[in-house]
A and B are shown apart, each in its own frame.
Chain A
């Protein structure tokens, strides 16, 4: 893992309250760039961005953009953030391949913990697909 990540938030260019809170929350982990939908897809395809956060208030088709990002980079984590969560939208986003569906909390610690938890996850997979090596397993040769 690199020491500092670059995260992408798909939101309006003008930074409102929540993106500011999110930027502060993520600052110990890395820097955050705010990009439009197309630029976010481009960034995901061409740079080692580990995680893209979609602001559900701005992104019109959350499931569509999630699928597009995942097609471009299957190992990418997508997190959907919303101030008005519903189970239908949660289902839609997670079914499209999002790694989490979170509330737009103003609590920096809560936000950071949620994003950190996602960074430790393996990329989402199909129901019975076997995953590869997840956490670095112990080397049987070293016997630890």
Chain B
């Protein structure tokens, strides 16, 4: 491999002579006689090393440090540099080579022009041969069954890449992997798992120096974005999640490698693969693990109450609709989508600024208010404080990777951060509702499928799976599981969940680019999204009408919703109103709050509040229950004194207690 060097000096004669020496030594040298030229080449091309003169503007001006400023530019941080000067001083040597708050020094070496070019060749050889953390011995293989190569990766990461720069990107990506796997002999990329928003997820096998075969998931993308992601991952990832094992960066790209905890040298599959393998038992077991272990592990990292922002805005942010999208642009995409699916079937779809209507032959038409208006103009009931939890981002069928033990791992962590508590569940539902469905006829099946999905008025209601279409029975069954789990964590209220699904659906519509060609399956999916949007807006509007029967003001006066604050100590009871609980009352409240809407047995409460086992002896047990009654009564009194409501905690005879965070003001 021939290394590429950018040589920057304002003296063309020196540049020619020294470059010739370097070329004779086997390097590919590009010359730049000005800072502008240098920046332009850096913006386009890839270099393993840069050599830069300190005085690039005026050789007679001792204050001219313009070349040093170029070397110190954070944009070029991952390019190793040699600083060259005809006027060496300890000050400039120090400025060039001492580490900076960004973590790396501007230059790795500092040379005097008075020395012969051989000294430069020696320094270059030493840096590229020994001091650079790169693995020249890594053999890269691509699976012949996957249409993969560095060139393919380059276009996935930079779709508009001019052809004449392809060679540079290939070299840069190759270098990225050499920097990523310093201790491997061989790397085989066997699968492109996912690619979106100029990021890719790859599955690779490695042979280590000790001949051990290891499995890794590699995520590549823009350097700055991956650096942000890395900080968030190191700070927030659940301890039993994927382990970030290697990271590397070049000027444009960053890469993260992840290992599966206790994983073998195995090939992984995606949730989509598992679905299409039609092994229902394994699919259910994996989904159970996602619902009961993966999502709770993220959500356990804490919670936060968003007081100032409405739920729709939080959902839009999560779905990527807050940056670069306006309501008008989103509406245009929806209109384009209606055009795209129009020739599909006998169903007539009409869309205007007020409504989205489906006219089915032989059946009554189905119409819902405009979904774009619905997601940008939230109804009043979504302005209450929203409980957010840590989310791995956007769960998708291809980024949820399943290992040999059928444990699932989210691998696309670009959206890692706080999200409304329903988000991860509704993303899972969206996978099962829109992505992993068999292509079927719009008119026959999807209407009944969608009707069955928007029927529940609370998370307690089960889906009417029997009346749904046969082809989608498994999906409905799995969605029912997702909702049950969502309800057990978030309470009974299902409408904020529907609202999130609507935002997900509208965001999915914007991913259709009117300029592209879509096959029949993709068009079917688009039609399905439109139908779901109409159903959801209709469902949400019906909810609005129910709630307007009480005017919003009087509703606010009469109901109070409790939220446990992020510090886990204060209970939010209204704007700027907090009740601080302590001791056993706090533990008891947390215990009930965690399972809000569910009946919590007395035994569980006793064990959690007093930290002792439920007594076997009846007399002791009676004593424990009396103590619990006392704490319970004090907690109820506190809540009532603070809010004026007395209906938060209900006693279910013979079973236990249930917390309903929404209390009604008595009297």
Contact = CB atoms under 8 A, between A and B. Distances in A.
A94 B93 contact: yes
A120 interface: yes
Interface string B298-310: 0001101000000
Interface stretch (B100-108, B189-197, B210-218, B630-638): B100-108
Contact of B100 (A88, A121, A129, A142): A121
Contacts of B102: 134
Given A130-B249, A137-B231, A141-B418, A125 B390 contact: no
A134 B108 CA distance: 20
B171 to A, nearest CB: 14
A87 B101 contact: no
Interface stretch (B84-92, B348-356, B597-605): B84-92
A101 to B, nearest CB: 5
Nearest to B77: A128
Nearest to B92: A87
Given A121-B101, A133-B235, A141-B417, A126 B304 contact: no
Given A126-B132, A128-B134, A91 B235 contact: no
B98 A94 contact: yes
- A-side binding surface: helix, strand, loop or mixed? loop
B416 to A, nearest CB: 6
A127 B304 contact: no
B426 interface: no
Given A87-B89, A128-B132, A128-B249, A141 B98 contact: no
A91 B234 CA distance: 34
A139 B234 CA distance: 10
Nearest to B100: A121
A99 B133 CA distance: 19
Contacts of A90: 90, 93-94, 97, 110
Given A87-B88, A90-B94, A127-B127, A120 B249 contact: no
B396 interface: no
Contact of A141 (B105, B134, B231, B302): B302
B236 interface: yes
A107 interface: no
Interface string A81-102: 0000111111100110011110
A124 B247 CA distance: 17
B232 A122 contact: no
A142 B303 CA distance: 9
B101 A89 contact: no
A61 interface: no
| Most chain A beta carbons < 10 A, residue from B93, B231, B232, B235 | B93
A139 B236 contact: yes
A123 B103 CA distance: 7
B103 A122 contact: yes
Interface in B559-593: 566
Nearest to B250: A128
B302 A127 contact: no
A91 B110 contact: yes
B103 A133 contact: no
A143 interface: yes
Contact of B98 (A85, A100, A128): A100
A132 B234 contact: yes
Interface in B227-277: 230-232, 234-236, 247-250
Given A120-B101, A122-B103, A127-B131, A141 B304 contact: yes
A49 B105 CA distance: 23
A125 B108 CA distance: 10
Nearest to A101: B94
A131 interface: yes
A123 B80 CA distance: 17
A140 interface: yes
B104 A125 contact: yes
B99 interface: yes
Contacts of B133: 126-129
A141 B392 CA distance: 11
A126 B249 CA distance: 13
A126 B417 contact: no
A85 B88 CA distance: 12
Given A87-B92, A101-B90, A125 B97 contact: no
Nearest to B85: A87
A91 B302 CA distance: 48
B109 interface: yes
Contacts of A140: 232, 235-236, 390, 416-418
| Most chain A beta carbons < 10 A, residue from B105, B112, B134, B234 | B105
Nearest to A120: B101
Nearest to B298: A141
Contacts of B296: none
Nearest to B235: A139
B179 interface: yes
A128 B80 contact: yes
B99 A122 contact: yes
B514 interface: no
A117 to B, nearest CB: 9
Contacts of B232: 137, 140
A124 B93 contact: no
B78 interface: yes
A139 B417 CA distance: 9
A91 B97 contact: yes
Interface in B467-499: none
15 contacts: A89-B90, A95-B109, A101-B90, A101-B94, A122-B103, A123-B99, A127-B132, A127-B133, A130-B230, A131-B103, A131-B104, A135-B101, A139-B236, A140-B235, A141-B390
Given A100-B94, A133-B234, 9 more contacts: A91-B109, A101-B98, A121-B100, A126-B133, A128-B78, A131-B103, A134-B101, A137-B235, A140-B235
Interface of A: 85-91, 94-95, 98-101, 120-135, 137, 139-143
Closest 10 CB pairs of A and B: A94-B97, A85-B90, A127-B80, A90-B93, A131-B103, A87-B93, A87-B88, A140-B417, A137-B231, A124-B99
